[in-house]
Amino acid sequence: MLDIHQILKQLPHRYPILLVDRVLSVEKGKTIKALKNVSINEPYFMGHFPHRPVMPGVLMLEAMAQAAALLAFDTLGVTPDDKTVYYFAGIDGARFKRPVEPGDQLIMDVSLERMKAGIFKFKGVTRVGEEVACEAELMCTMRTIA
């Protein structure tokens, strides 16, 4: 379990793009379960959509990728520094099953499918309660920047 203070030490993201509030469980090299509390105060709700606020699907994918990064760091036993970035390398099979609205709590279950030549492949499912909101296969890679 990681609280927000521990997450801030691992991920370089900050407001308004940090999309993981807590890690509920992690099984090294296998799975992570994380949560994101969705609040009406999120900046994207002003424009998406003012009459019916809905969390953009791409941000659900980003939230899963941030959880995946935390799983990758735990798996490798590393804490990234300012010279390390974790990038998307691909997204496959993204499906959006229900809208996510203010007041919802996203529970992200991400499993590491494989790790080869610095490319990580994950399967992610995000739920609100028992309902699937989003699912996708994510490919990510870590890079060192100058």
The total number of structural domains in the chain stands at 1
Where does 21-128 show beta strands of DSSP type E?
22-27, 31-37, 84-96, 105-116, 119-128
Q: Whole-model pTM? A: 0.96
Known catalytic residue: 48?
yes
Find the CATH number of the domain harbouring 117.
Answer: 3.10.129.10
Give pLDDT tens digits for 74-116: 999 998 888 888 999 999 999 999 999 999 999 999 999 999 9
Task: Show the domain range for 39.
Answer: 4-144
